[in-house]
Structure formats: structure tokens, C-alpha cells
Amino acid sequence: MGKLIVTEFVTLDGVAQAPGGPDEDRDGGFPNGGWQLALPDEGSGSAVFEQAAGMDALLLGRKTYDIFAAYWPKASEEMPFTGLLNRVPKYVASRTLTEPLAWEGSTVIAGDLAEGVAEVKERHDRVHVIGSLDLLQSLLRLGLVDQVNLWLYPVVLGTGKRVFAEGAVPAALRLTESVTHPNGALQLTYEPAGTPTYADAG
């Protein structure tokens, strides 16, 4: 069974909506798209790619898939992600999309999500999820996530979709890696560690 690895770019208050551009995701009237781009850093950019380079499949929600499918097939080959994302098999969890899909190598997971993701993990060693915040909530509730890569940025936005939204299932996580980058971003890697434990200070 392969691993399901989630990568999210997140603010200090947990917002992960539209890090890459003003019009990336305006759901809820979100006005702050592109917040991550204001904190560029060559070192952290290389580290993001290094994390992703081991993927042999990509799992996306419908909205993120549409964004990626409109951009990456036409993106410059000079960008490291272009070859990687166009080469690996893509899976999109959607009840409305139908095949064939325009982005080469893309397949729809239209049925039961848990069964569909389990089949993908049987086929591939390292299945990556990028963004896809609505899908992420379902993956977390179903206990399907094996690793979480959080890129934590020194920004507070106050509103927007969050990585761990309301209704998140209580879970304990174990920190396995922590790196600080010059732009103030923290590169944090977590793995599931069961359920939270509780104590009484009295």
C-alpha cells in the first residue's frame, strides 16, 4: 500500500485558500489570493519541488484540478514542476466530471472516495495531494492521509478556507521534520500519531 502525502501552503491562522494568485479561488468572496507569492524565496521554492519530486501519482479535488489542467499543460518547460505534473498519472475526485479529460494522464474517481483512494494507493507508492481543500477535509475524516507537509508562512488573513476546517476529526500528529527558510516560512512534516491524549492540570 502506498502513502498519501498532502502538501498545503498555510498562514499562521490556518488559511490555505488561493496562495498562488488573486483569481485562484474566490469562493466566499475571498479577497486575498496570491498571498504566498509576496514571500518569494529561491531556497524554499527548491525545497517544495524536492518534496514533490518523489510523487508517482497526483490526487486532486475538482477545483484544483481545473486550475492545474488550465495551466500546467502549457507551462514553460524550464519550470521543474512542468515536466513532473504533466508526466505523472492524475486522479481527480469528482461527481460531475466525465472522461475523457483534456489533461493527458487524468482519470476520474467518481464512486466511493475511500475505495477509490485505496485503489490508487495500491497502484502507486507516493500519491500526492496539493491544495484541494474541500477534498482534504474528506480525506482527513476518512483517515486516509499518511503524511502532511505544511508550509507555514508569517501571514495572518483572518478569513478563508482552512487546512483543518470546522468538523475536523481530533487527531494527534508527530513532527518528523522542521526547516526554517529565509523568507520566514516554516517547512513542517507531520505523520499521524493516533488520537489526542488529555490531561488535567489539577
Strands 106-109 and 90-93: parallel
Candidates 150, 143, 198; CA nearest to 177 is: 150
What is the pLDDT averaged over residues 168-185? 94
Strands in the chain per DSSP E: 3-11, 57-61, 90-93, 106-109, 126-130, 147-153, 173-180, 186-192
Q: What is the pLDDT of residues 138-158, one digit of tens each?
A: 999 999 999 999 999 999 999
Whether the CB-CB separation of 4 and 142 falls below 8 Å is answered with no
SS3 content of the chain, % helix, strand, coil (to 5): 30, 25, 45
Tell me if residue 173 falls in helix, strand or coil: strand
Which pLDDT score, from 0 to 100, does residue 185 have? 93
Which pLDDT score, from 0 to 100, does residue 198 have? 94
Strands 147-153 and 186-192: antiparallel
Q: Is the confidence at residue 168, as pLDDT, over 90?
A: no
Q: How far apart are CA 8 and CA 11, in angstroms?
A: 10
What sign results for the dihedral spanned by CA atoms 28, 29, 32, 36? positive
H helices of the chain, where?
42-52, 62-71, 80-87, 113-123, 133-141
What is the pLDDT averaged over residues 116-129? 97
Write the CA distances from 58 to 2, 102, 106, integer angstroms: 12, 16, 9
What is the pLDDT averaged over residues 87-106? 95
Tell me if residue 158 falls in helix, strand or coil: coil
Which pLDDT score, from 0 to 100, does residue 44 have? 83
Kindly report the CA angle at 124 between 118 and 129, in degrees rounded to 5? 75
Q: How far apart are CA 73 and CA 87, in angstroms?
A: 10
